[in-house]
A and B are shown apart, each in its own frame.
Chain A
């Protein structure tokens, strides 16, 4: 089944404790991206990747890192999480940047 998977789905952590949210897609898509969703603000892009080893900042990259060592995986790293990073995070993939995005199930992160 074609899908985008994210793990964990839910996470409660404390300020400053490094964490990684994994994202994997099995559709051989070149384009992958991370979004955060906050009430009233819609989806905001954190980082995106056009292909392996090619990553770029989105609209809200501060406090986040990503890597794209393999085509299928695009982990989101929070080196030192802070409470303002409490949010719902979505990973998405697409054949190209212009193509329809296939979203993962979301990760709800709470930083205390």
Chain B
């Protein structure tokens, strides 16, 4: 079983603050890294899928970077808004690229 870790576990920020979270994963046999956004009472929704070392992806105020050599990815949110409040999950795909392993998530609360 892969060990995918996310930090911090939870985070409270003020509206307008920028923030970032970390996802660390085994760098050996890396295939892909996923980020998902999971709002309370809803299903997880994909934000990014990244495969190449140095990948940077952006969707609105949210962006992500990937370092496959050292085994980490950062998710950044610029100018946080209350609607950004959610749990952010990362997941790593490795080896035979058939099984996705999720971290336990970072729960973000943006205070108005």
- B-binding residues in A (CB < 8 A): 33, 35, 40-45, 48, 50, 56, 58-59, 90, 97-106
Contact with B89, one of A40, A43, A98 (Cβ below 8 angstroms): A43
User: Inside 8 A of B49's CB, which chain A residues have their CB?
Assistant: 98-100
A101–B105 CB distance below 8 A: no
Residue of B nearest to A6 (CB): B43
Contacts across chains A and B counted by CB atoms under 8 Å: 57
B97 & A100 in contact (Cβ 8 Å cutoff):
no
Interchain Cβ contacts under 8 Å between A and B, 24 examples: A42-B89, A42-B102, A42-B105, A43-B89, A43-B102, A45-B99, A45-B102, A48-B99, A56-B98, A59-B99, A59-B101, A90-B44, A97-B97, A97-B98, A97-B99, A98-B31, A98-B51, A98-B93, A99-B49, A100-B49, A101-B36, A101-B100, A102-B46, A103-B44
0 or 1 for each of B81-110: is its CB under 8 Å from A? (1 = yes): 000000001010100011111111100000
Which A residues are in CB contact (< 8 Å) with B93? 97-98
Given A43-B102, A101-B36, A105-B43, 18 extra CB contacts under 8 A: A33-B100, A35-B102, A42-B89, A42-B104, A43-B89, A45-B100, A56-B99, A59-B1, A59-B99, A59-B101, A90-B43, A97-B93, A97-B100, A98-B32, A100-B34, A100-B49, A101-B46, A103-B43
Q: How large is the interface on B (under 10, 10 to 19, 20 to 34, 35 or more residues)?
A: 20 to 34
Give complex CA distance A50, B98 in Å: 8
Which of A35, A59, A101, A104 is close to B34, meaning CB atoms less than 8 Å apart?
Answer: A101
Residues on the B chain within 8 Å of A90, using CB: 43-44
Chain B residues engaging chain A, CB cutoff 8 angstroms: 1, 31-32, 34, 36, 43-46, 49, 51, 89, 91, 93, 97-105
Q: Which residues of A contact B34 (CB under 8 A)?
A: 100-101
**Whole-angstrom distance between the alpha carbons of A98 and B95 in the complex?**
11
Asked if A48 contacts B103 (CB within 8 A), the reply is no
